[in-house]
Amino acid sequence: MTPARIPMRDLKREYNSIRSAIDDAIERVVERGWFILGEEVKRFEVEWAAYCGVSHAVGVGNGTDAIQLALRAAGIGPGDQVIVPALTSAFTALAVSMAGATPVFVDVDAERGTLDPEAFEAAIGPQTAAVVPVHLYGCPADMAAILKVARQHSLLVLEDAAQAHGARYQGKRVGGLGDAAAFSFYPSKNLGAFGDAGAVVTRDPALAQKVRLLRHGGQRQSGYHELLGTNSRLDEIQAAILRVKLAHLDRWNEQRRSLAARYRAGLGGCDGLVLPATPEGVEPVYYVYTIRTALRDGLRDYLAGTGVSTGIHYPLGVHRQEAYSHLGYEAGACPNAEKAASTTLSLAVFPQLSFGEIDHVVRLVRIFFAVR
Ligand SMILES: Cc1ncc(COP(=O)(O)O)c(C=O)c1O
């Protein structure tokens, strides 16, 4: 049977698969009548830290704040430069700007799409204070090379793990690879809330404590504000939902990997199409299944016409965004990121998709290339 329509995401399918547990969790919070910084957040923080293999997790309002607050907690701000890959969600860089620091955009590796360690090293200057490698599309960045350079220059390494919950690098889960990591639990992420949510994880107790203060107005004791903090708290309902979903995360990631393998088997050898790289020592979690083709726009239109939704991650390198025009990056400054921006197309890969649906997309992509 041919599926009528294939969405990029279908969070209703996910909800239906765990409906009663989610409903019970929400009811538990509502019955308790305690909605901000309570039992659920506390427990989720312990569970999420353990999952990531670190000692501390601090729940915050969203992934952007997780990056911003981790940088601020590490003392990074005005006058500092923070190295960011040019191919990522612009929110990675916006968080750096929100902390008062200046993002320095660096090109990505042509195949992997993550921060190029050599370009990173070349961009380090006297004001560089930190680097934010992004585990793009669920594939961990080349952390061994990045950490080596960062350690030589005493830079803070803050992983942006917003797209890579549960991914492994040389056997270790992302989140525990650098000095700290930021997660987003935006609804469509591998682990997603029913609204905005995020977390900072770290092994550093002082950094965790500082994020804890900053997220809650800088208060250690209610009514006494030690720091110029903000309001960015993970709320109880979201934490309760995340606790339910966490129990399914490994199974869902496994499902994403088998759907990705199905795409690979079906699309392999298709002329004009580049499939996602699978670097050695990496266990990716396929937040999206991102292919590359010079015929990207035509393929996207063709698929849309047949009821198959796709995404573009991302249509513009962050260094070329209007919001960063004041930094003066010219076209060609980050060629791999720019090429990716005009050739990448993300296909649906959420865990509740069936092999039949993947096969349908594969058939259509093959038809598109066969008639060219
Ligand atoms: C790589 C990356 N970094 C940061 C963010 C920002 O997360 P949030 O939307 O939760 O603020 C996102 C998600 O949009 C992301 O994909």
Task: Specify the residue for token string 């199974």.
Answer: 251
For ligand 1, say whether the CB of 163 is within 6 Å of any of its atoms: yes
Q: Give the dihedral sign, CA 31/34/39/44.
A: positive
81 lines ligand 1 (CB under 6 A): no
- Does residue 1 carry a pLDDT above 70? no
| Neighbouring-strand partners of residue 131 | 83, 157
Euclidean distance between CA atoms 210 and 72, whole angstroms: 9
CA angle 249, 251, 256 (to 5 degrees): 90
Does ligand 1 come within 6 angstroms of the Cβ of 238?
A: no
Question: Mind listing the pLDDT tens digit for each residue in 262-316?
Answer: 999 999 999 889 999 989 999 999 999 999 999 999 999 999 999 999 999 999 9
Q: Is the CB of 85 under 6 A from ligand 1?
A: no
| Distance from the alpha carbon of residue 239 to the mean position of ligand 1, in angstroms | 18
Predicted local confidence at residue 2, as pLDDT = 63
Span 117-145, average pLDDT: 98
Place of tokens 């299944």: 289
Rounded to the nearest angstrom, the distance between the alpha carbon of 92 and the centre of ligand 1 is 7
Measured in Å, residue 302 CA sits from the centre of ligand 1 at: 29
Q: 334 in ligand 1 pocket by Cβ < 6 Å? A: no
Q: What is the pLDDT of residue 372?
A: 78
Bridge pairing between strands 81-85 and 102-106: parallel
Cα angle, residue 348 at apex, residues 315 and 87 outer, rounded to 5°: 30
Residue type, 268: G
Q: Is the pLDDT of residue 65 over 70?
A: yes
Mean per-residue pLDDT, 193-221: 98
- pLDDT band at 371; cut points 50, 70, 90: confident
Amino acid at 20: S
